[in-house]
Structure 1
Amino acid sequence: MKFGVFIAATALAAAVAGAAIASPTQEEAAQLGKTLTPVGAIKAGNANGTIPAWDGGICTPPAGYKPRNGIGGFPYVDPYANEKPLFSITAQNMEKYGDELDEGVKVLFKRYPNYRMDVYPTHRSACMPDWVYENTIKNVMNPKTVSGGLGLEGAHAQVPFPIPKDGYEAMWNANMKYTYPWIQGDLSFLLVDSAGNRTVLNVEKTEEYLPYWDEKSAALKSDQYYWILKSTNTQPAAEVGTASLMALYMRPDIKDNIAWSYIPGQRRVRLAPEFKYDTVSSNSGGMLLYDEINGFYGEMDKYDFKLMGRKDMYVQYNAYRTEMATAEQLGTKNFENPDYARWELHRVWVVQADLKPGQRHVEKRKVFYIDEDSWNILAYYGLDQAGKVYHYMQLPLWQEYEKPSPWNGNYILYDFNKGAWASGSQQGNPDFKQTGFYKVKPFGSNHFAPEEMAGSGLR
């Protein structure tokens, strides 16, 4: 594997439980906003010009943007709709591009000779509000990881580690990726089994609050969540009102992440401690593990996370076409319909997570590819105990220019043991008049109280 720019992995002190990783040097920090973007990406393009320089991204909506709900979200105007593929990668020529392909997509090529990746010009469209950049640069020396990387302190309304020193810092960046603090949207979940049968499993309303990204609030304390999500099923009829509530903390080594569930037939809210690690999410048709949500979800205590460096990779980017496809258009047998996928060459951070001795999980290794421009996880694969690729996830990204915010609140997940695949969050799906995620006013003080689920979930 050839890496572009390599950043040395964990310093010796980080091996000691409770030790904090060293801050960037003054010389390193001074490059933010100069040779590096404000969030730590290399501002220049690559040597052969296949990745351009970052010029600020798409920060305002293009002409003709008229969201379905009049507020934000879908349908988006695809700013690159008229572009044609530069070339296609197939099973026949994949070796030529092997250094820029992850192990998961290589399995797709080997299993399904008709799989195809259409490669388009690269556009570094990621843009965030100016205050995110200002806070990240101004406060770059403040954040620290603690408890061997398991907790985060000193960070608020900023990318915590634009110059990461180890895998834990890179993963905290991914966990804390910028999102507007108050958002609401709808998601649908598609399952395509090994026979090619297509099933829309459910549709849900999702509400999220991220106090970490409320720049006007005080920095969070260890007993305050940085992200909380409430989802309520709206389809099918048998599942209407079923709800879940999940909260994540910056110091899970002190205060454990927590979840609740509500089932209308039982008429009670219960704690759901099983909503973590390799427990399977019920909304995914028996495929998605809880710690695969958004590429990675929850605590990092089961694995050793190593920062492997940066490299150029083909990833799904500027995926407006993917997200506005219907289940019928996207849901072909064996894999996502290549006609609706857009692949581009981007620089990513590579993080490898190996299961710690004595820990149990169905995956002994996870490998993550994290966008340097946005800190969103763009792809991930997990190895089973035999060392074979078990799960492979693509997380297509697009720029939500009305916020502005890079976003990949979706997934395409392949289970190579079952020969099936699933897609979560077809947020532009016109079948259900979905709107995707949009800004909302701050939620009420009790909106995310567990007992509130019982009132909102009755049918």
Structure 2
Amino acid sequence: MHKKTAIYLALTAILMGANSAQAAVSAQEAAALKTTLNPLGGEMAGNQDGSIPAWSPTPAVSASTDKVGDIPAKLFTDEKPLLQITAANMAEHAERLSEGTRALLKKFPSFRIDVYPTHRTGVASQQVYDNTLRNATECKTTEAGLSLSGCYGGIPFPIPQNGTEAIWNHLLRVENPALDVASFKNVILTADGNRVVATENDMTMQYPYYYAGGSAEKWSGEYFLMRFATIAPPFKAGESLVFRDSINVSQSRQAWQYLVGQRRVRRAPTVAYDTPDFVASGANYFDEVMGLMGHIDRFDWKLVGKREMYVPYNTNEVVTASLDEAYGEHHLNPDKVRWELHRVWEVEATVASGKRHAVPKRTYYLDEDSWATLLMDGYDSEGKLWRTTQTTPFILPQVPQLALKPAHIFNLQANTMSTTVSLNGATYRVVKPYPETYFTGDAVAAEGVR
């Protein structure tokens, strides 16, 4: 049986029977966000043996002054791994490893996990905390959980009553209002151990849900605006893609693509779900980007429970390293990847009745403090493990935020790995929001013909 804290056992008894509930929690329940739960919904207390510390609103972050863009290059430089997990000793730690992580340890002798002391750096601004507290009693799911109302500017369901609410927390996790990422790459590790840069791109991402001074009444419902332009390889240079994601299932994603050869912009409705990601040469699906990207209507979502697991966390060193330093032949360089013990919510996704998806079952592991997807295991139609994803969240102490962008997606049958939004060699900067007209097909067309 997985270890759980006393508070989780108390919450589970209340929550697990409410998988179809649509209402927000009561004010009395929400008051836990000021006592036993932290302002984003994680348990305030540490675990029984102290290996997971209590949460602090001001975690002690020892960060280097060297930065790559706005990302500190190294954290906690004086710390050494508490233990190393390999195929030889993973049975001793199996309870705290996902099935996908165990599969990687078995498959690749060079893969290992270096476990460091745990630092709970999932924090945010007071404004986000205040909004999260309000969301707890006012945010609701509508249309069978596929749309939302009454939410703004914080975690929508800090005390989730079902898997749908938990996965909305990932999609609406804490973000800066706007980001520029110059020269990010999509990297593929092939079955024979070669590293290929599928594309290099410039990208702007914007999060209207976290605009300063906004409100649930003013908000359009669009939570993620993205626009990027491919700059390499030469035969793809100049291609552009823009999309706008919404909480409303009726207009969940609007997308436009500019193709240089055609010199025109066209609508791109298939840039979603299990469409192969052409930005990564088809090595992953579009909804595997950032752990999970896009609407949730293809699946039914079950909140399995909470458990303690070894997960990638505070991984500034690997996301700021050079490509040669960050990657091995079949996986990230274990010397650069920091793993820690954290409590995670386990959410199981199974393809919904009348829907289809190439990966009919998935298991997501969401950080209790930040709600970011840290690991995901995907299963084929026969129930066999097929895919596994590791994300590498990193700290932006100046925001403050535990940020999530790169995702490393393993195809265990093809023996490949695809990294989406690799920041290695990129420049990541927090910027002021752009006019929302920047994220339209017309704007892409105007720039494409110049």
The aligned amino acid for 1:379 is: L
- Summarize deviations over 1:45-86 as a string: whole Å, max 9, x none: 100111111112459895625x45xxx524x14231221111
Matching residue of 1:78: 74
Q: How is 1:241-280 mapped onto 2 (pairs within 5 angstroms)?
A: 241-252=238-249, 254-280=250-276
Q: Is 1:439 the equivalent of 2:427?
A: no
1:231 partnered with 2:228: yes
Instruction: Give the alignment partner of residue 198 of structure 1, picking from 195, 198, 205.
Output: 195
Aligned to 2:87: 91
Q: How many residues align?
A: 443
Alignment partner of 1:361 is 2:353: no
Q: Once the two structures are superposed, what CA deviation does each residue of 1:356-400 show, in whole Å capped at 9, x if it has no partner? A: 233221112111011111111111111011111111110011111
Report if the CA contact (8 A) 1:59-1:128 is conserved.
no
Are positions 1:403 and 2:399 aligned together? yes
What pairs up with 1:158-173 in 2 under 5 angstroms? Answer: 158-173=154-169
Tell me how far apart the structure 2 counterparts of residues 3 and 273 of structure 1 sit (CA, whole Å).
43
Partner SS for 1:30: helix
The residue aligned with 2:310 is 314
Local SS of the residue matching 1:145: strand
Alpha-carbon deviations, 1:10-61, whole Å to 9, x = none?
Answer: 656x64xxxx523223332111122110011001110011111111245989
What letter is aligned with 1:133?
A: Y
1:42 partner amino acid: E
Moved more, 22-31 or 394-403: 22-31
* Structure 2 CA distance for partners of 1:111 and 1:169, relative to 1, 3 Å: same
* CA deviation after TM superposition for structure 1 residue 455, in Å: 2.7
Q: Give distance in 1, aligned partners of 2:217 and 2:281.
A: 36
Q: 2:2 — aligned with what?
A: 2
Give yes or no for the alignment of 1:455 onto 2:437: no
> 2: distance between equivalents of 1:305 and 1:347?
19
Instruction: Give the match for residue 26 of structure 2.
Output: 25
Shift of 1:442: 2.5
Q: TM-score, normalised by structure 1?
A: 0.91
Q: For 2:23, give the aligned amino acid.
A: A
Q: Please tell me whether the aligned partners of residues 59 and 404 of structure 1 are also in contact (alpha carbons under 8 angstroms).
A: no
Note the 1:96-245 alignment, pairs <5 A.
Answer: 96-186=92-182, 187-219=184-216, 224-245=221-242
Structure 1 distance, partners of 2:326, 2:134, is: 43
Contact between 1:57 and 1:124, CA under 8 Å: does it hold in 2?
no
In structure 2, how many angstroms separate the alpha carbons of the residues matched to 1:47 and 1:354?
33
Query: Does 1:39 find its partner at 2:31?
Result: no
> What CA distance in whole angstroms lies between the structure 1 residues aligned with 2:217 and 2:409?
33
| Shift in Å, 1:292 | 1.1
Q: Does structure 1 retain, via aligned residues, the 8 Å contact 2:201–2:229? A: yes
Are the structure 2 counterparts of residues 198 and 446 from structure 1 closer, same or farther at C-alpha, using a change threshold of 3 Å? same
User: Is 1:127–1:399's contact at 8 Å kept on the other side of the alignment?
Assistant: no
- Structure with the higher fraction of residues in helix conformation: 2
Task: Provide the identity percentage.
Answer: 33
Equivalent residue of 2:381, what SS?
Answer: coil
Distance 1:400 1:258 in 2: 30
The answer (yes or no) to whether the contact 2:45–2:54 under 8 Å persists in 1 is yes
C-alpha RMSD over aligned residues? 2.0
Match of 1:306, SS state, is: strand
Q: Distance in 2 between matches of 1:331 and 1:217?
A: 41
Is the 2:209–2:219 contact (alpha carbons within 8 Å) kept by the matching residues of 1? no
1: CA distance between counterparts of 2:153 and 2:207? 10
